[in-house]
Amino acid sequence: MTSLTELIPAPSSVATPGGQGFVLDQATEIQAARGTWRVAHWLRTTVGAATGLPLWPHSSSENHILLRIWPPLADELGGPEAYRLTASGGTVVIDAASEAGLFHGAQTFRQLLGPDVFRRAPVTSKRAWEVPAVTIRDAPRFRWRGFMLDVARHFMPKDGVLRHLDLMAAHKLNVFHFHLTDDQGWRIEIKRYPRLTEVGSWRARTKFGHRASPLWEDKPHGGYYTQDDIREIVAYAAERHITVVPEIDVPGHSQAAIAAYPELGNTDVIDTASLSVWDNWGISLNVLAPTDNTLRFYEGVFEELLELFPSEFIHVGGDECAKEQWRQSPTAQARIRELGLADEDELQSWFIGHFDKWLSARGRRLIGWDEILEGGLAEGAAVSSWRGYQGGIAAARAGHDVVMCPEQQVYLDHRQHAGADEPVPIGYVRTLEDVFRFEPVPPELTPEEARHVLGTQANVWTEVMEDRARVDYQTFPRLAAFAEVAWSRLPAPAERDFADFERRMAAHYRRLDALGVAYRPPAGPLPWQQRPGVLGRPIDGPPPNR
């Protein structure tokens, strides 16, 4: 049994009326009302697997878990993802405004049963699974509670992605931003352009550590998701009430695509046919040519993407597009003149604006990194504010929706301790407490402007994370603090009770242990987690150093 005060993220309210609670045992049934069978199935495959109990789908026993959807609860409890969980008199009732709310309630129920219930197989026979008498009312603060994973710099095979979706769900996160393409790799099968994966998904070698490091991993690295893999990932996410927002990064961060199809690059500036998928970190100067051919090519890519991803938002990147080649390219300069544009920044706006209109015409919405503000923000576009709060503030003031993910706060590739034994320490020191005290809505915004902050997102860039264990180390435990920021209605940063959060984390580490998460232990990395000799480059202030 977990104490009622050990939940993460913290719920809106917990009332303890006393009296009889609930005991999960051989007799327990799941009574699934209309529209709740998927949540019942999830409970059976998780709680059922960990306890070895049958969780019968009948409705005769007093000992039952009753699942119900009741939309008016949205008004009573604070939004469409709200739920109310009551354990009393030997039963558990989870009422929710929607299936998503019910799923969040089921996640809370799992936490209440204790850390062993996070295992995949029963390890302890003959034990009691108890929940004390309680009523929990809960609803999220933000509707976009995001996690971004960069699978371009280091590929993560599909089972690792599915595992992250489970980990997101356990933390009540609901948007998976899937960074699928970059200079160092193209990770999604596009049927009409097979070379994107045949050529673009592999690189010959990889810089090991920060880009200033002299070390190389001299072996090919790569991989990609077939369209069937993607369909499976999207469906698995949907069962967990997670929306997958795919990112195809244009017009910068495109060297892998140019290596596959050299005509996409600025052929009048460099010999793009000699380019290969990039083996180093940083910002490649090889960007897309602003030609009709490029637009048509990417329309083809996005057409296949829309077939695979039902999300309202489609991420088009737009970050860190080096303008050197456009400045030198007669073709790009002619386009600037022909369109009556002032400069290369406006050329980037035109490029992004094209896909904004293209996506809008197909009932979708464009989202991009905050550089898409430069040279004019495309109408209807939303912004991922990563270079601090300023882009998000400007966008919200202009009436655009914003996801706050400032690199100074929620880039989880940045080291989480100043100690010398942090593995490949890059970026700012951002501790668990720093993330816990992150506030997504800057005080400069009026309440009206703040309504444009859809939510917040933690971003995991994987240049220095070559495998799952490294991703786990950087992501956890900080993602737990981030989840609390995104879900719970916390006081102002300085007033947040970090001591209480740490106390709850003691229970949460046991949940993560049961889930097999290789988090950073509070006392520092374990010997096998250290990477002595691999160069990172810590910084104490801007600019970012990846």
Cβ within 8 Å of residue 257, ≥6 positions away: 181, 186, 196, 200, 264, 288
Smallest distance, ligand ACM to C-beta of residue 530, A:
26
Residue 113: alpha-carbon gap to chain centroid: 26
Least distance in Å: CB of 162 to ligand ACM? 25
- Which of 253, 315, 354, 452 is catalytic? The answer is 253
Q: What is the smallest separation between the CB atom of 544 and ligand ACM, expressed in angstroms? A: 7
Asked if 455 contacts 440 with a C-beta cutoff of 8 angstroms, the reply is: yes
Q: Which helix (H) or strand (E) holds 111?
A: helix 99-113
Interaction pattern, residues 311-350, with ligand ACM; x per rule: CB under 6 A: --------xx------------------------------
434 belongs to the binding site for ligand ACM (CB under 6 A): no
Q: 277: number of CA atoms within 13 Å, CB side? A: 29
| Beta carbon nearer to ligand ACM, 283 or 450 | 283
Query: Is 253 noted as a catalytic residue in this protein?
Result: yes
Pairwise CA distance, residues 6 & 112, whole Å:
8
Report which residue's Cβ sits closest to ligand ACM: 319
Residues 6 or more apart in contact with residue 274 via CB below 8 angstroms: none
Distance CA 337, CA 255 (A): 26
**Shortest spacing between CB 360 and ligand ACM, in angstroms:** 23
Identify the residue among 118, 369, 473, 482 touching ligand ACM (CB under 6 A): 369
Q: What are phi and psi of 262, to 5 degrees?
A: -55, -25
Q: Which of 386, 438, 482, 487 binds ligand ACM (CB under 6 A)?
A: 386
Nearer to ligand ACM, 222 or 252 (CB): 252
- The verdict on 389 binding ligand ACM (CB under 6 A) reads no
Least distance CB 367 / ligand ACM (angstroms): 12
Q: What strand order describes the sheet that includes 134-138?
A: 13-15, 134-138, 83-88, 91-96, 64-69, 29-32
Q: Which of 411/473 has CB closer to ligand ACM?
A: 411
- Selecting among 182, 247, 422, 484, the annotated active-site residue is 182
Nearer to ligand ACM, 183 or 320 (CB): 320
Nearby residues of 64 by Cβ (< 8 Å), 6 or more positions away:
28, 29, 30, 31, 91, 92
Q: What is the DSSP letter of 220?
A: -
**Tokens at 286, concatenated:** 């090889």
The answer to whether residue 320 is catalytic is yes
Contacts with ligand ACM by CB under 6 A: the residue count is 4
95/407 with CB nearer ligand ACM? 407
Q: At closest approach, how far in Å is the CB of 176 from ligand ACM?
A: 16
Q: Contact between 147 and ligand ACM (CB under 6 A)?
A: no
Phi, psi (deg, nearest 5) at residue 362:
-105, 15
The token duo for 357 is 């209109």
Write down the catalytic residue from 150, 319, 320, 449: 320
Q: Is there a catalytic annotation at residue 99? A: no
C-alpha angle 483-486-490 in degrees, rounded to nearest 5: 100
Which residue's CB is nearer to ligand ACM, number 115 or number 455?
Answer: 455
Q: Which residues would be at the binding site for ligand ACM (CB under 6 A)? A: 319-320, 369, 386
Instruction: Just list the catalytic residues.
Output: 182, 253, 320
